[in-house]
Amino acid sequence: MDLSRLHPQARAALGVQRREPLTVANLTAVRHSMVAAVPDEVGLVHAPGTVVDVDANGVPARLFRHGTAVVVYAHGGGWVLGDLDTHDGLCRALAAETGWSVLAVDYRRAPEHPFPAAPDDLDTALAWLRSSGPALGLDPARIAVAGDSAGGHLATVAARRARDAGRPPAAQLLICPVVEPAQDYPDLDDYGLHREEMAFFWDAYVPPGVDRSAADLSPHLADLAGMPPTVIVTAELDILRPEAERYAAALSAAGVPVVSACYQGMVHNFPRKLALFDAAHAALAQLGAALRHWVPVA
């Protein structure tokens, strides 16, 4: 590892989360280690409005109410890890930066619930928001989707599905997203996310025999015309950066307004770790600024 490539804060962040062996048998410990690291990585983030857990037509979700427009959020964790608590601080900060409410979706995780459980849960939550949102003071005509890492994958799949159904979201905000199942990664394993981990996540998420070239698994291969305005935040030293940048270029070639920003010296999913990275706050401010530009808050 070339430590000189890392931002000083990224160097200091190495090893904050205890690294457990990533196996199916050890998933309980791995999931717990991600939760246990939240106080050190994320810290205490105050919500700008009220926070309430809701039932979105059978899908557990958490609503951070802060305005009538809503960002539907899918957490990261390789479709296997993460939950409402690991991403609670990020969603609070996102609500504060955007001026929008945030609906965090606790979708079913692999390998217990492989594809297509997670994207189907996102679809269910979106349908619930459109039907029940007005009773909660939320505007079903002003919905964006967002997510980090594997949650970014779920968010853009949800956006494309909604577009195909004639109900495209107003925008999509993607943080260090997974986009391609080919796993053609640069040699950046030492800086955080490892290719072996991504291989485990993909195999857990996609059952044998499923065509990974289908649009729900390879969103970069879909027809991208008419996709919503998009912000993609990447980290220089993240193995997922090249595929996210290729996706940004493909969206742009399809005529989609795109902002793609690479944060130098940063590592995978730095924006969630608000207690460790000044760049996390800058990235969320950038997401908020783009969203307010494309969809002004009423």
Q: Kindly report, residue by residue over 17-50, the tens digit of the pLDDT.
A: 667 889 999 999 999 999 999 999 999 999 888 9
Dihedrals phi, psi of 259, to nearest 5 degrees: -115, 120
Bridge partners (DSSP) of residue 62 are: 53, 104
The pLDDT-based confidence of 145 (bands split at 50, 70, 90) is very high
d(CA 258, CA 130): 25
Arithmetic mean of pLDDT, 129-149? 96
Contacts of 47 by beta carbon, 8 Å cutoff, 6+ apart: 64, 66, 92, 95, 96
Q: How many residues does the chain have?
A: 298
Angle between helices 150-164 and 117-132 (to 10 degrees): 60
Is residue 265 predicted with pLDDT exceeding 70?
Answer: yes
Q: Distance of CA 36 to CAs 105, 136, 207, Å? A: 20, 33, 29
d(CA 126, CA 31): 26
- As a whole number, the mean pLDDT across the chain is 94
> What is the pLDDT at residue 49?
87
Q: Kindly report, residue by residue over 169-199, the tens digit of the pLDDT.
A: 999 999 999 999 999 999 988 888 999 999 9
Tell me if the pTM is above 0.85.
yes
The pLDDT-based confidence of 1 (bands split at 50, 70, 90) is low
Q: Kindly report, residue by residue over 102-120, the tens digit of the pLDDT.
A: 999 999 999 999 999 999 9
Q: Kindly report, residue by residue over 276-287, the tens digit of the pLDDT.
A: 999 999 999 999
Is residue 14 predicted with pLDDT exceeding 80?
Answer: no
Active site residues per annotation? 149, 238, 268
